Amino acid sequence: MTATGILAALRERDRTGRGQRVDMALLDVGVAMAANQAMNFLASGRAPGRLGNQHPNIVPYQVFPCADGHAIVAVGNDAQHRRFCALIGAPELAEPPHDTNPGRLAHRATLIPAIAARTARMTKADLLAGCEAAGVPAGPINDMGEVFADPQVIARGMRIEPGGVPGLRTPLRFSDSPLALERPSPRLGQDQGAADPWAG
């Protein structure tokens, strides 16, 4: 948020020639980040309860168990819900009262366990391949080993080993500005010179 505010202020300076102070508060940002829940409260006057990773207004839109881990499924409309239920082998879960999002919201407590029972029998790879083929947004929840084995993470070179020291590459990439990725992070006390108590 602060970086966005700074960029907006710089753009305004380009337009008007005047600089300005950007005032950011962590509390303000925390409140603003509660967008869905805040708008639900402001519209209804009812404070929402805990939902974990579930979406407050769209069902099913959350983490589901798989035989070998977990995946996030983000069903965004009724047509996606029908396709999702078909791919998990439960087309009956797309029939009334689950055929519309308001119905799914009202029956979340029974619908979600029924879906979870089906996804728990599938591997992450099978569930995600089915979602991909059906046009249902979904993604894996990976452990760090799976993250660094991901073909896109490898292709983007996110793991670096300058000087034999493993580390993470910055996600920033510029068309013209080269980055200094060949230097490892400094060792503890490296810049203390001769006074370094850890020097070997």
Listed by start position, the domains of the chain span 9-44, 61-138, 141-171
What is the CATH number that goes with domain 61-138?
3.30.1540.10
pLDDT confidence of residue 195? 56
Residue with tokens 């203390």: 192
pLDDT confidence of residue 188? 82
What residues are labeled active site?
55
pLDDT (tens digit per residue) in 43-69: 999 998 998 999 999 999 999 999 999
State mean pLDDT over 117-124. Answer: 98
- Whole-angstrom Cα distance, residue 4 to residue 14? 15
pTM for the model: 0.79
pLDDT (tens digit per residue) in 155-167: 999 999 988 889 9
- Whole-angstrom Cα distance, residue 98 to residue 95? 5
